[in-house]
Every structure is written in C-alpha cells, then in structure tokens.
Amino acid sequence: MDCFLRLIMCVLVITAGVMGPGDMAQGAGLEQKRQFFVQAEEALRKGQRQDFHGLLAKLGDYPLVPYLLQQDMDKRMSLHISNEIHSFLRLHDGSFPAETLRGKWLGMLAQNGRWSQFLSDYRPQSSVELQCFYGQALWAENKRSAAMDQAAALWLSGTSRPKSCDPLFGAWIKNGGLTRDLAWQRIGLAMAAGQPGLARYLGRFLGPADKKWLEYWLRVDHSPGLILEHDWARERHDQMAAILAHGMRKLTRADASRAAQDWERLRQSHGLDLERFAAIENDVVLFMSLRFEPGALERLAALPEHLRDDRVREWAVRTALRREDWSSVLRMLDALAPKQQQDARWRYWRARALQETGANEQAQVLYQTLADEQNYYGMLALDHLGRKLEVYHTPMEASDAAMQRVRSLPGLQRAVELHALKRYGPARSEWQRAQTRLDAEELLAAAKWAQQLGWHDRAIVAAAAAGHAKDMELRFPLPHKDAIMTQARLKNLDPAWIYGVMRQESLFMCDVGSSAGALGLMQIMPQTGRRIAGWHGEKLSSSRLLLQPERNIRYGTTYLRRQLDELQNHPALATAAYNAGQHRVKGWLPLSPLAADIWVETIPFNETRNYVEKVLTYMTVYEIRLGRVPTRLSARLPLVHPAGSQTQVADFARGLQSP
C-alpha cells in the first residue's frame, strides 16, 4: 500500500467515531477544505500525485476524503493493491465510495478468475453483469445449488442478458436447469417487452412442435389480425391463451370497439371459455373505457363481477361518471373490491352520486368523513359542506440529541458536503442511503437539518418518511420567490399555481432530469425549451441552460400561460396539458359541458390524473403560504366545455411582455 495513503487510512479509522458537527463545520476552515478537495480531485485527474498527497494531508478528517481515496484506487486498480482495497471496504462498508469501489474490484476479480475472493468480497449488486459473475463464482467454488438458483433467476428476463451470463447459463442448461416451461416463460416476457428478436433466438431451446407455435406467435406480433383467421377449436396449444392475448392486445390498441366485436365473434364461434380468457375481455373493455367509446359501460356491466380486475372495476365507475349516469355510478361503486371502496377517491364519488340521486343526508355523512383529510377529495368535500378550508401548521421539533446524532453520521456529512459543492445528484444518493437507516426521531432531525440548509427536497422526503405532514413551512417552502413573483406578475399567473406545478414537477431540485429528458425546476423538455426560447426571441444553444433556475422559471411560466390561454382559461385543463401535452387534453374534451371534477377523474392517464389532483391541492396550500385567503377548490373547477366552444382569447404572442 502507498505509505502516505496508509497513513490517511489510519487517521480516518481514529477519527471516524469521534468527529461531530463542530469538527465538521468550522467556518472559513471548512470552506477552504472544500477548495482543497476540488483541487485534490483535479491533481489526481492530471496525475500530479505529489500535489494530491499534499492536499490530502491538508484535508485531514474532511468528510469527502473517502471519495478521493476511492478515486485514487480506481485509477490504480490491480490485484497488487488488494490489501489497500480491503482495508477501505472494511472501514467504509456500505458507503457510496466503498460500494462504487467494490463494483470495480469485483469486476477485476472476475476477469482474473479469482472466484473465491470474489465470493468473499461480494455484496448484492444492481449490476446484472456482476450478478452473472456471482453465479459463475458460485459454480466455480462448487456451490452448485445456489448457482443453479441464481441462473434461473437471471434467466427470467424479457431483455437480453450480458455476455457474462453465458458461461453460467451454459452450465445451468447442461445440467438440466432449463425446462420447457422456463423457455416459454422467457419467450413470453420477451414478447411482452417488445423483443421479438430475443424470442426468436430463444426458439433454439424448444422442440419442433413448439417452434411451430413460436413462429406463429412472431407472425401474429407483426400481423395481429391473423388470430381472427386461425381455427382455435381444431388446433390447441398451452401457449394459445398467451398468443391470443398478444394479438388481441395489439388489435385493441388500434381500435377497441372493433376489437371487441371481433373478439366476441371469435370467442363464440370457437367455443373459447370466457373465464379462461377473462384477461382479454378485461383488456378490451378497459380500452373502450379509456377512449370513452360508445357501448363501454354496457360491456362492462355484462362482464361478471368476479372476472373483473381492479383497473376495470375503477374504470366502470369512471365510465358511468363520464355519462353522468349516477345510478350506474352507485352500482359500479358497489362492485369495487372492499379495499378500493375505502379509498378517499371512491368515498367522494359515492357521496357525489348519493347527492345527485337525492340521498342528501347520506351524502353529507360521507362528505364529513372526508372533510378532515387534507387532500384533493377532502377539499372538494369541504366545498360541498360549505365549510372553509383550514390548514393546520405544526412546526416540526427534533431533540438536540437527535440533531447531534444525525449531524455526526458520516453518510449525511458526505451528503451535506456534496450538496455544498453543488454536486446535487451524488448528494441526494448519499442522503437517501443514509436515511434508510434512521429511526423516526432521527428522520425528523434529518428533515430539520435539511430545512436549515435550504435543501428542500431532502427535508420534504425525510419528513414524509417520518410520517410528519403538518409542518407547512417545511413541506411547502417558498424558494426562488422573487423570480416566481416577477414572472407571475408579468404573465398574469397565480404564483400559488406556479409553486404547485414546481413542487410536483421537481420538488424544487434545480438540477434534476426525468427519464424522458425533462430538465430543471419546471421540468422542461429540450425540444419544448427551444420552442419557448423562440417565443422569447432567444436561442437555446444548449439544453443544459434549462437547469438555470431563472431561465427555467421564465420558460416554464411562459409555457403554462400558453396552455391556459388555449384551453378555456381552465386551470385543470392547463395543468393536465403541462403534464401530458395540449393535443392529448384536447382529445379528452367532452362532447357536452361536463363538471370539472368528473373531467379530472376520467383523465385516461393515471399519472396525469394524479398530477392534476396534486397540483390543485398544492395550489390551495400555497395560497395560504403566500398570505392569501385560499380560493375554494370548486371555484377553480368551472365546467369543461367541448372542443371549439371555448371563448377565443387574444393571441398569446401579442400579450407576452418583454422577458
């Protein structure tokens, strides 16, 4: 081991158990150590080892020193430094630096066939490649039963596995691990995942008779109408249900009503049992409902209750709601599973249906049960009761002892330092890993610490994990207030709405990006950002510019204003469009005026429906946080009108003030 690094490791061992919050935060000294840390990383990157060692000495017990040691060992990774690596893994077991190093070390051990050492150093890994190496190690060390189990678990995937799995799969197959059922299971997973190429490859593990059916399945995937021409009464196979369901799913997504007719003819003419093929019937009626197609409710009602899945049960209620058939709403609510009936959503709609059918006293009782629940349905219930909204604020308290404990935790110390260095992604990862090990009292203390640091997303997440929901200042902070109030004034938008959208979109994480590519506080897609920049007479030279808080707020509010102007000046429609796109929202508009609570409930996308409900709820809370009397939720929910009937508004571009 490098002598200097051995000394640093010893110092860390001595100080790890005694460093407290006072040691970590020493004013200018801490700021200087942050600079030393960045300089040490740069020296290591450039191979300036003498400078690196000198800066390490100056850092002492600074919380991020493990990252430097890990990065150094990454660069020098070899079997010759195994003692150094093992010392580091023992000292920092479970930390991000240690587990990052462990992954690379395990890869090196596998490449060199050091299987005994691999098993000794292995911890459960998210990397499929390392999971496969683990199976190889088990096999090489004669732990055959465990290796066979590992191979079977890895096998069941709808996507291709890395090449590191091939030796394990080869041994598993050779020793009788791969059965016909497992081969078909993986083929089914591949077809469901849209991977027909993998399914075709897996056909090599089938016998001749089975291969014929796989080839037919692949043809159905390309031309789903083939299932309507097959004689299912004459020729049967144990994969018949899966093939039929696959073809019907594709037909249903193309035209649900026509697919429903085709399926009924096919089922009747070929004697296909409804109970055996209930999944197909559920799929057909679900998509008819999602698209508001005629006959959906009648087909739902004809499906025996015991064959309906939970999604279909819920959409039976929504389909009746969309038609404002309140007697059918009550019948479909009665058909929900007992657990579903207890949900605030369906209790509210039972109250609404009772009210609409004249059972006012029963409706009032149900509204009363909802009124104290501070959520979307509770706020709607308050409006029906004619009661004012009261949001109770109870500041979160944490004991000095708990605060001291969490401030002394190395994982949280590393998280806080990474946050101070604006390395927000790694900071959140460190925090979340440490948070999973905290008890309820420590979670409150961690939330309080994050709040003190202005780290709003971690404060909200930690408080939620602790089950504390009454500290309104912590749960609904007011960051970027100047920029938000300025843009709200320029664009005639409610700042409470902007805050509600921002909280739901990013939890105030300015650096965050979604899996779809949306960026920043208001989660703007790069393509949308370029379009908005054009509306402002600007060019977006890099999508990373959307991570700038001021620009993101300016562009996001511009986009929000346009949705409002083009969608009946309706907050629910505009909020839905911000999430799902204006073209979809226009496709969801009713054929005749519809109550907005019904329109929101019948949004076809679960994500968008929940999004709208949460933003509207947050909007009301933010009114209070901004010192205003909250608007009744029902006042934000005027009737939703059919397409083409909304009042025409002035062209947005003419009204846009200078950004």
**pLDDT for the residue numbered 645:** 64
Q: What is the rounded CA–CA span in Å between residue 513 and residue 411?
A: 24
**pLDDT for the residue numbered 372:** 86
Q: What is the rounded CA–CA span in Å between residue 195 and residue 570?
A: 42
The identity of residue 626, as a single letter, is L
**CA R_g for the chain:** 30
Between helices 128-140 and 144-155, what is the axis angle to 10°? Answer: 150
Q: What is the rounded CA–CA span in Å between residue 462 and residue 437?
A: 12
Q: What is the 8-class DSSP label of residue 594?
A: B
Q: Give the residue ranges of the chain where pLDDT is below 70.
A: 1-28, 645-659
- How does pLDDT run across 309-339, given as a tens digit for each residue? 999 999 999 999 999 999 999 999 999 999 9
Contacts of 436 by beta carbon, 8 Å cutoff, 6+ apart: none
* Angstrom distances, CA of residue 86 to CA of 52, 94, 97, 117, 567: 22, 13, 13, 11, 62
Q: What is the rounded CA–CA span in Å between residue 93 and residue 87?
A: 10
* Closest to 483 measured CA to CA, from 505, 515, 508, 465: 508
> 460 is written with which tokens?
């909200």
Burial 203-234 (b: 16+ CB within 10 A, else e): bebbeeebeebbebbbebbeebeebeebebee
Contacts of 596 by beta carbon, 8 Å cutoff, 6+ apart: 570, 572, 637, 638, 639, 640
Residue 398's Cβ-side half-sphere holds a number of Cα atoms within 13 Å equal to: 27
**Ranges of H-type helices in 60-165:** 65-75, 82-91, 96-111, 115-121, 128-140, 144-155
Is 229 among the catalytic positions? no
281, 274 contact by CB (below 8 A): yes
**pLDDT for the residue numbered 515:** 87
**pLDDT for the residue numbered 644:** 79
> 407 is written with which tokens?
């401030």
Residue 433's Cβ-side half-sphere holds a number of Cα atoms within 13 Å equal to: 21
**pLDDT for the residue numbered 374:** 85
**Ranges of H-type helices in 602-639:** 606-625
Supply the pTM of this predicted model.
Answer: 0.90
* Closest to 644 measured CA to CA, from 584, 601, 589: 589
Which domains, from first to last, does the chain contain?
A: 3-123 (no CATH), 400-469 (1.10.1240.20), 481-655 (1.10.530.10)
- How does pLDDT run across 397-431, given as a tens digit for each residue? 999 999 999 999 999 999 999 999 999 999 999 99
Terminal alpha carbon distance of the chain: 59
What does residue 519 show for φ and ψ, rounded to 5 degrees? -130, 145
Q: What is the rounded CA–CA span in Å between residue 324 and residue 590?
A: 12
Q: Which of 417, 430, 442, 505 is labelled catalytic?
A: 505
> 221 is written with which tokens?
């995937």
